[in-house]
Chain A
Amino acid sequence: MDNSMDVGYSADDKELKFVGKRTNRPDGVDKVTGRARFGADARLPGMLYGKILRSPHAHARIISIDTSKAEALSGVKAVVTRDDFEDRDSEFVPAGEMMVNYRDMVRNIMAREKVLYDGHAVAAVAATSVTIAKQALKLIDVQYEVLPHVIDVVEAMAPGAPLLHDDLFTDGVEPKPTKPSNVAKRLEFNMGDIASGFAEADEILEKTFDTKPVHQGYIEPHSCLASFSENGSAELWCSTQGQYLVRAHCSKLVGMEISKLRVTPSEIGGGFGGKTVVFIEPIALALSKKTYRPIKITMTRDEVFRSSGPTSGGNVRVKVGITKDGKIMACEAELKYQAGAFQGSSVQPGCMCAFAPYDVANVNVIGWDVLSNRPKVAAYRAPGAPISEYAVECVIDELAERIGMDPVDFRLKNAAKEGTQTAYGPKFGPVGFVEVLEATKALDHYKIPLGPNQGRGIGSGFWFNIGGETCVNLNVNEDGTLTLITGSPDIGGSRASMCNMAAEELGIDVGLINPIIADTSVLGFNFLSAGSRTTFACGLATIEAARNAIENMRKRVAQLWDIPLDAVVWEDGAARPASSNAGEFEPMTLPEIAKIAPKTGGPIAGHAEINAQGAGPGFGTHMVDVEVDKETGHVKVLRYTVIQDAGKAIHPSFVEGQYQGGAVQCIGWALNEEYVYGEDGRLQNSGFLDYRIPLASDLPMIDTKIVEVPNPNHPYGVRGVGETPIIPGLAAMSNAISNALGLRMSELPMSPPKVLKAIKEASV
């Protein structure tokens, strides 16, 4: 592996002092006192305010844009439209670690020939105040030819549906289509003989499920500050999950060399995948390039909903065949995912994850990437997986019920384990699904009796987790403290986790390490804080940097003692003779070595530049108890427990936080959240009053159970925990409501009107 180092460490090999401990959060005080700087806190002298004119139509051709009156308004310093962004070829090209079609991205940033969704950006102004900028937007005259629109994924696939792009031909079908459509891509994953598998089944269940697009629901809106210099360089401050990807996209869209753009990430008030892309940042840079003044743009909540990237809604058909004793023989699914206005939904990982929790010989999964007049989707924790696994887990649960088998026992009987062949290719290495299910059965929660109108639901889920490109510097300061510099925005407590690992390696107190999140000019490329990769990949780099620093300190001491390097060992924060044969020397502590560094060769630091590979797959199970009010359709969540394999919890509090946050987002997705469109194709609930995410008063305490089956590719066994927690809860909620009501629902959200409708239909 690129990240070659001692691996296969067992957490039981020695007593750990900091790894696995609930150390203080380095950024905690500033966050609770309001000192921490988030995206909208950035300011510069001479700053102008940017506002964006957005489409009031779901689908329309742009006939003309007249900005002359806006430009004439006193206080307006610049206006940009499609003419200010160079067009790009339609091809997927590497950007950082991603494949990006910049022809699509430049059109999503600023509409060109057509507006493709309600909220699509059409023009932007920079003015001396927000008020003037808003007045200027009203003076921009855009002439539209309104076109028919399509919102629903199934309707968008139908022949004769309003066409978003007349140059989009479905990829992955033979023969290649001669007519354009809204279907961008067909995918298929096969394993075994699906027909034979169903032929051997005693029970077969086939159902279709619908989910609606939902937003990540981050509280902090997108915000940025761009400052272009006359010398052709620029600085950008923004709220993002990846400053290096922002740099890659913006430099391409604005037309500048990567080295000329310096991007600094702010603290982040939630992202969950939604801040892995750019929306306002290239516009702010373009306005600043015109004015050479700093430009600040902050989205309103309405803009966040209408114009950033929610996740897909989906239509999923699932068919599963089992024997009467509960062995899964065949699994089939067809996934239709909304991509929004441009191709690229999360249907591919949705297909790959659908049946991954189970050891099944015969699998067929087909996926469709479908465009409609909605905002282009963005990632949302475990993108694609919650939708497909929701449908699968509902069918699994119903089949277990049909044969009278305990739902956990049913999953245990079929659980993926080391050596299980996945439908997407590889066999699993060591994974912890069996251990998760066994821990589930052992919980007191599983044994609590339920009352009238109450039900218990189980759901399980799988996510891959990833590694990726990562750089870390660890500077040994002259007073014996250390500065740990990483390039991964801290979206879930990574500062504390990195410090835990560095302190463990160095054998020093964790409080001596100050973690810094660097801008793009400090370190080499770092991939996003996404994909459940940060604790794994940035952790590997941190460990390597710490070991590098230790080696450098051992070298200094070996030279001082005039003995070979291998005669000096590092233990408990000090260099020591490896044995009595090495000579009689008093140990030299890290502060002592740091103090004399100028005399022994100069500053001391550790570095790591890696492409982390070998991430450990994650499995989890959610168990929830609900009570349904049959008169109102209201669902009250009584108890909720998340059980998940973390590999190793470097900082248990933050692992629990990921579990709890995922569960809460599951509850919102399952019960209330959805994008509601009117007949005119406009979004009707672009605010938190109408788009209802769960409040603390809606929730019980979310209990957690951390299971630890180490990933052999990380020195402490880390897997990654950020995404799996949002997968199992949709089905767990649906199965709990089904058990409470004695009927099966197959649609999200299960809001009160829909629950009442299901009760009414079942009673007819």
Chain B
Amino acid sequence: MASGETEMEVEATSVRQIFRHLQERFPNIKSHMVDDIAVAIDGTVFQDAWLEKVTENSEVYLLPRIGGG
């Protein structure tokens, strides 16, 4: 999906902007990013995070959405 890349730097001020950068770089990633990916920003997990702000040194991880019983 991301051509084997697991880590990269992008310039962005929100998660939505990060997604846009990645969608442009990896077109196949789109449907997953829109609906099925959670985001961790500096250790806090956001299940839905398009509008969350990121700062210059934010560490952002993409991870599967979590469900539960």
Contacts and interface: CB of A to CB of B under 8 A. Distances in A.
A216 B43 CA distance: 32
Contact of A379 (B44, B49, B65, B67): B67
A530 B69 CA distance: 5
A273 B67 CA distance: 10
A532 B45 CA distance: 14
Interface in A683-733: 713, 722-723
Interface string B40-57: 100111111101100000
B27 interface: no
Contacts of A97: 47-48, 65
Contacts of A613: 44-49, 52
A298 B56 CA distance: 56
Interface residues of A, number: 47
A428 interface: yes
A464 B63 CA distance: 12
A2 interface: yes
Interface string A522-534: 0000001011110
A276 B43 CA distance: 28
Nearest to A530: B68
B48 to A, nearest CB: 5
A426 B69 contact: no
B68 A532 contact: yes
A52 to B, nearest CB: 24
B51 A614 contact: no
A97 B63 CA distance: 16
A1 B42 CA distance: 13
Contacts, number: 96
A94 interface: yes
Contact of B43 (A1, A383, A428, A532): A428
Q: Is the interface of A mostly helix, strand, loop or mixed?
A: loop
A615 B65 CA distance: 13
A464 B69 contact: no
A146 to B, nearest CB: 34
A467 interface: yes
Size class of the contact patch on chain B: 20 to 34
B64 A531 contact: no
A531 to B, nearest CB: 3
A511 B66 CA distance: 35
A99 B43 contact: no
Contact of A464 (B51, B52, B59, B66): B66
B48 A611 contact: yes
Contact of A381 (B44, B46, B69): B69
A614 B41 CA distance: 10
B62 A425 contact: yes
A764 interface: no
A427 B43 contact: yes
Interface in A492-540: 528, 530-533
Contact of B69 (A2, A614, A723): A723
Contacts of B67: 98, 349, 379, 383, 466, 530-531
Contacts of A427: 40, 43, 59
A2 B43 contact: no
Contacts of A352: 63-64
Given A1-B52, A94-B35, A426 B68 contact: no
Contacts of B68: 273, 379, 382-383, 463-466, 528, 530-533, 722-723
B19 interface: no
B63 A99 contact: no
Given A429-B44, A613-B45, A380 B69 contact: yes
Interface of A: 1-2, 92, 94, 97-99, 216, 272-274, 276, 348-349, 352, 378-383, 418-419, 424-429, 463-468, 528, 530-533, 611, 613-615, 713, 722-723
Given A272-B69, A426-B40, A531-B68, 16 more contacts: A97-B48, A98-B67, A273-B68, A273-B69, A379-B68, A419-B43, A424-B63, A426-B45, A426-B63, A427-B59, A466-B47, A530-B69, A532-B68, A613-B45, A613-B48, A615-B45
8 contacts: A2-B51, A97-B48, A352-B64, A382-B68, A425-B61, A429-B43, A530-B67, A615-B45
Q: Closest 9 interchain pairs by CB?
A: A273-B69, A531-B68, A426-B40, A379-B69, A425-B61, A429-B43, A425-B63, A613-B46, A426-B61
